[in-house]
Amino acid sequence: MKSTAKDVWDAIAQIFEGRSLMVAINLRQKMQNVSCGAGDDVRTHFDKLADMNEKLSSIGVTLEDHEYALILIGSLPSIYEPTISSILAAAKLSRNTLDPDTVISLITDDFD
């Protein structure tokens, strides 16, 4: 059986789709395992997570805002628990989903 250009292209596309999926899984896992130390600069930490989120987006994986906000919150040390509790309570009371920009803004203000 003779392969057509389309057959070859489809095979190559399938290989790269599989690799992209593995890269996305690996990057998401790394993103969820990043943590900010109690003495670390939270701005630098958030910049690192934003860079990882952009890389995910560049390969076609988009995190929902609430999912990204939860990753941000989950990566913070316990010294931010009072601020995190306030953010979560406000979101629940207002019946709004968590917004990453709000999380970043409030935690950065707390850091300052």
pLDDT for 55-83, tens place per residue?
888 888 889 999 999 999 999 999 999 99
Distance, CA of 25 to CA of 65 (rounded, Å): 18
Q: How far is CA 97 from CA 84, 88, 90, in A?
A: 14, 9, 10
Question: Whose CA is closest to 53, among 107, 87, 110, 100?
Answer: 100
Its pTM stands at 0.77
pLDDT digits (tens, 9 = 90+) for 1-22: 567 877 777 777 676 666 677 7
Instruction: Quote the distance between the C-alpha of residue 20 and its chain's center.
Output: 17
